[in-house]
Amino acid sequence: MKWQIDSDRPVYKQLIEQTEQAIVSGIFSPGERLPSVRDLAAEAGVNPNTMQRALAELERSGILYSQRTSGRFITDDEEMIDKLRYQKAEEDARTFFDNMKKLDLSADEIARLLRAIFEEDKDEKSASNE
């Protein structure tokens, strides 16, 4: 997977977010075995200790689980993944909403804008499917 580490926030937090993102967007499937800490760290270009810390945190939250001998796995609890997906969507929606408020847009205007973008996206999809 593709990792993108910004310079001004703790690396382990970014690793957590991006791993969660990869899980909810299906890059990692439920029950899938994760590569080793070392390989993941090399792939992301980060320190293995930092990657270890991120994975340990994800384990605590239950999104990952480890089996003593065979490694670390994505949870196969799809309900939990759905919950995570919704949680992420809500976070993004809040950020979006805050930004719109800064632009002084009313709730109606925001809704109209979103609907327009939604329609546009639908048209593009159906156009590319033809």
Partner 1 sequence: MRRVRAMNSTADLLKCEDLTKKFGKDTALDNISFSLDPGHIVGLLGPNGAGKTTLIKMAAGLLTPTSGAILIDGDAPGVYSKGIVSYLPERTYLNESMTPDQTIKFFSDFYEDFDPERAGEMMESLNVNRTKPVKNLSKGTKEKLQLILVMSRKARLYLLDEPIGGVDPAARDYILNTILQNYEEDATVIISTHLIADVEQILDEVLFLQDGKLILQESVDTIREERGLSVDETFREVFRC
- Collapse the DSSP code of 76 into the 3-class scheme (helix H, G, I; strand E, B; otherwise coil) and give the result: coil
Q: Shortest approach of partner 1 to residue 43 CB, angstroms?
A: 9
Q: Is 38 in the site for partner 1 (CB under 8 A)?
A: yes
Q: Are 30 and 76 in contact (CB under 8 A)?
A: yes
Q: Which C-beta is closer to partner 1: that of 4 or that of 129?
A: 4
By CB under 8 A, name the one of 2, 4, 7, 126 that touches partner 1. Answer: 7
Would you say 47 or 99 has its CB closer to partner 1? 47
Site string for partner 1, 46-65 (x = CB under 8 A): xxxxx--x------------
CA distance 7 to 108: 37
Tokens of 30: 């439920």
9 near partner 1, rule: CB under 8 A: yes
Among 16, 41, 74, 81, binds partner 1 (CB under 8 A): 41
With helix as H, strand as E and coil as C, how does 6-48 read? CCCCCHHHHHHHHHHHHHHCCCCCCCCECCCHHHHHHHHCCCH
- Closest to partner 1 by CB, 10 vs 71, is 10
